[in-house]
Amino acid sequence: MALTPFFGRGTGAWDPWDRSLFDPFVPISRAWDLLDVNGPNSFSRDAMAVANTRVDWKETPQAHVFTADLPGLKKEELKIDLVDKNTLRISGERQKEKEEKNDQWHRVERSSGRFMRQFRLPQNVNVDGISAKLENGVLSVNVPKAQPDANNGGDVKSIDIGSGSGSGSGSS
């Protein structure tokens, strides 16, 4: 006979074999989530997934390249702006999947909601040459370098997102 309860694992504080509540290595915020009757981290996980959209920023000799994993998002759900000619803003919204009346959900792990990330650009960028592409759920924004005096500040410019096809780092 197994020592695990017949109703399964992962029921948080209601699981007599779950020691997470008393584990000194689990952050206190996680311990409070275990008391959630809908399951551990059900709300906070969704909120944090949207709030913590991860973006990599690398600098090459030719450009600054921003890369974000955005699986399942369409280019229509994304917006890229240049604010005051020195701040790159990446934002979007993942819509919640439509629920049917007869659907019974067993687990919901994909997040939905809005996100926004902003990056202050250095002065050595060519704001007129910014390009973006979305390919296989990966957003890539290319900000080419220019002379330091090419950036004069002032307004908001929207950047079109192209659909990528094939490989390579060129813009579409």
Q: What is the pLDDT of residues 80-115, one digit of tens each?
A: 999 998 999 999 988 777 777 788 878 877 777 888
Q: What is the pLDDT of residues 2-57, one digit of tens each?
A: 554 444 444 555 555 555 555 555 555 555 555 554 554 545 554 554 456 889 99
Tokens of 89: 């803003």
Overall fold of domain 54-95+113-165: Immunoglobulin-like (2.60.40)
Question: How many Cβ atoms sit within 10 Å of the Cβ of residue 137?
Answer: 12
* pTM of the predicted protein model: 0.57
Q: Tell me the β-bridge partners of 92.
A: 78, 115
Query: What is the C-alpha to C-alpha distance for residues 129 and 119, in angstroms, rounded to an integer?
Result: 17
Q: What is the pLDDT of residues 141-169, one digit of tens each?
A: 999 998 655 455 567 788 889 887 655 55
Q: Where are the domains of the chain?
A: 11-52, 54-95+113-165
